[in-house]
């Protein structure tokens, strides 16, 4: 039975953590994710859960302690944002290469500099090649649901990779929305107990975690990580199918909104998808075949699935909420274009940058974007790659 509530994204994720009741949570506060460890520590002090909370002196220490707890056999997690994730950089790669099923609640925020505390995806996109899975939420409901599914994914024997559950700072993390919660007993039954096969405190099977690997061994570890990431696609879909049975909410690698018959489509990640949906509703009422492909799972990257979903579209806009600093656009644009190219699609794809540093992205911006795509499709305008949406003049 669902429980109707009103919560911010941070509250929703914190409540999901309470329901799962993991073993260990090291954390160091940083805006806008600070509320998550704050709320979880309150649950602990009130005796509502028995998670061991570890206050640490930095984000590097936070991930290091999480790695230690996970390697010892505990179900572990942490939370951070922006520069906190950057401070964890070295340890992110350690967690992935050690094949530890850690969950990181990442509240997306722009990376310095200049200093900015608002939303964009430069933090998580900077870590896209670290070996972590990445799942993004558009709404508070999705942030809650994603966390509940996360341990089922990371702890699967065919995966055993760490996972970032990502949501947009302030827009999702602090805004209050209606939400449907599951009963705690149902959540714990779905997630299940964690029974690791190999862990450091298992005296009957001594092991090393993170040993030195020279040339004859290093490449094979990377290949095994790659296989696990490939396996994760199916596991994510299988877990989502099970979750639908208890929640009624359906999830995939991405969401298609009026995409089947769309001639013009936008590909994007996160909360601004809702703004684009409003614009699509307006355009559809005018007879314009506009559609959206909202990426939910960015790692593993669903390349062939995305290419199939975008097949036959006249023009596609790929929106990045971070600057790739390559002088050739953003990371989402590069990967979607590569997927289209590899599939042999002749779809015109145009990469745009929007919303960085918290810059507003409005329904009017989205409608103007679709009108530009129509002009490109009709030959009235040449595509301008890597254009900034909403740039001040």
Tell me the three state secondary structure of residue 333: helix
pLDDT band at residue 393 using 50, 70 and 90 as cut-offs: confident
Whether 333 shows a pLDDT value over 70: the answer reads yes
Q: Is the pLDDT of residue 289 over 90?
A: yes
- How far does the chain reach from its first CA to its final CA, in angstroms? 52
Q: Mean pLDDT across the chain, nearest whole number?
A: 97
CB count, 10 Å around CB of 21?
A: 16
| Pairing of the two strands 348-353 and 315-320 | parallel
Helix, coil or strand: residue 319: strand
34-62 burial code (b ≥16 CB/10 A, e <16): bbbbebbbebbeeeebebebbebeebbbb
Residues 348-380 have pLDDT tens digits of 999 999 999 999 999 999 999 999 999 999 999
Taking the C-alpha atoms of residue 66 and residue 177, their distance in angstroms, rounded to an integer, is 30
C-alpha–C-alpha distance, residues 9 and 35, integer Å? 10
What is the tens place of the pLDDT at every residue in 57-85?
999 999 999 999 999 999 999 999 999 99
Half-sphere exposure of 366 (CA within 13 A, CB side): 24
DSSP-based three-state secondary structure for 195: coil
CA distance 196 to 201: 11
Give the pLDDT band of residue 1 (cuts 50, 70, 90): low
Quick one: 271 exposed, middle or buried, by C-beta within 10 A (0-12, 13-18, 19+)? buried
108-132 confidence digits (pLDDT tens): 999 998 999 999 999 999 999 999 9
Query: 295, 332 in Cβ contact below 8 A?
Result: yes
Rg (alpha carbons) of the chain, rounded to whole number: 21
Is the pTM higher than 0.85? The answer reads yes
* Range 31-41 average pLDDT: 98
Over residues 10-33, the mean pLDDT reads: 98
158-208: pLDDT as tens digits: 999 999 999 999 999 999 999 999 999 999 999 999 999 999 999 899 988
Euclidean distance between CA atoms 68 and 4, whole angstroms? 37
Q: Is 245 a residue whose pLDDT tops 90?
A: yes
Which domains, from first to last, does the chain contain? 3-247 (3.40.50.970), 254-388 (3.40.50.920)
Mean pLDDT of 16-37: 98
CA angle 230, 311, 226 (to 5 degrees): 10
**What is the rounded distance in angstroms from the CA atom of residue 80 to the CA atom of residue 104?**
8
**Chain segment 128-166, per-residue pLDDT in tens:** 999 999 999 999 999 999 999 999 999 999 999 999 999
Kind of pairing, strands 254-257 and 24-27? Answer: unpaired
Burial 92-123 (b: 16+ CB within 10 A, else e): bebbbbbbbbbbbbbbbbbbeeeebbbbbbbb
Closest CA to 105 of 130, 124, 129: 124
pLDDT of residue 113: 86
pLDDT tens figures, 263-275: 999 999 999 999 9
């Amino acid at each position: 039975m669902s429980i109707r509530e009103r919560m911010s994204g941070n509250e929703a994720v914190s409540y999901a953590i309470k329901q799962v009741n993991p073993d260990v949570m090291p954390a160091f506060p940083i805006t806008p994710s600070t509320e998550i460890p704050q709320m979880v520590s309150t649950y602990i002090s009130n005796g509502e859960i028995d998670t061991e909370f570890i206050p640490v002196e930095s984000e590097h220490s936070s991930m290091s302690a999480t790695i230690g707890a996970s390697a010892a056999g505990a179900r572990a997690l942490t939370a951070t944002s922006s520069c906190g994730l950057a401070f964890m950089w070295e340890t992110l790669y350690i967690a992935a290469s050690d094949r530890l099923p850690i969950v990181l609640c990442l509240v997306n925020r722009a990376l310095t500099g200049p200093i900015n505390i608002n939303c964009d995806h430069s933090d998580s996109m900077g870590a896209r090649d670290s070996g972590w899975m990445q799942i993004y939420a558009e709404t508070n409901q999705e942030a809650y649901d994603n966390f509940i599914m996360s341990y089922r994914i990371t702890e699967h024997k065919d995966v055993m990779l760490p996972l970032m559950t990502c949501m947009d700072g302030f827009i999702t993390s602090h805004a209050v929305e209606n939400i449907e919660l599951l009963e705690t007993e149902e959540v714990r039954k779905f997630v299940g107990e964690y029974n690791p096969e190999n862990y450091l405190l298992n005296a009957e099977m001594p092991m090393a975690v993170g040993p030195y690997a020279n040339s004859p061994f290093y490449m094979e570890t990377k290949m095994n990580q790659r296989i696990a990431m490939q396996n994760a696609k199916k596991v994510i879909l299988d877990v989502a199918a099970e979750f639908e049975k208890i929640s009624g909410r359906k999830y995939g690698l991405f969401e298609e909104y009026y995409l089947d018959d769309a001639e013009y489509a936008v590909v994007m990640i996160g909360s601004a998808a809702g703004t684009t949906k409003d614009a699509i509703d307006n355009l559809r009422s005018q007879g314009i075949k506009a559609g959206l492909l909202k990426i939910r799972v960015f790692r593993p990257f669903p390349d062939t699935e995305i290419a199939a979903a975008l097949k036959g579209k006249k023009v596609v806009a790929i929106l990045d909420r971070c600057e790739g600093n390559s002088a050739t656009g953003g990371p989402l644009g590069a990967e979607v274009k590569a997927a289209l190219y590899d599939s042999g699609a002749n779809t015109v794809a145009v990469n745009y940058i929007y919303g960085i540093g918290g810059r507003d992205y409005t329904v009017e911006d989205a409608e103007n974007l679709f009108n530009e795509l129509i002009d490109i499709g009709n030959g009235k305008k040449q595509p301008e790659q890597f254009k900034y949406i909403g740039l001040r003049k």
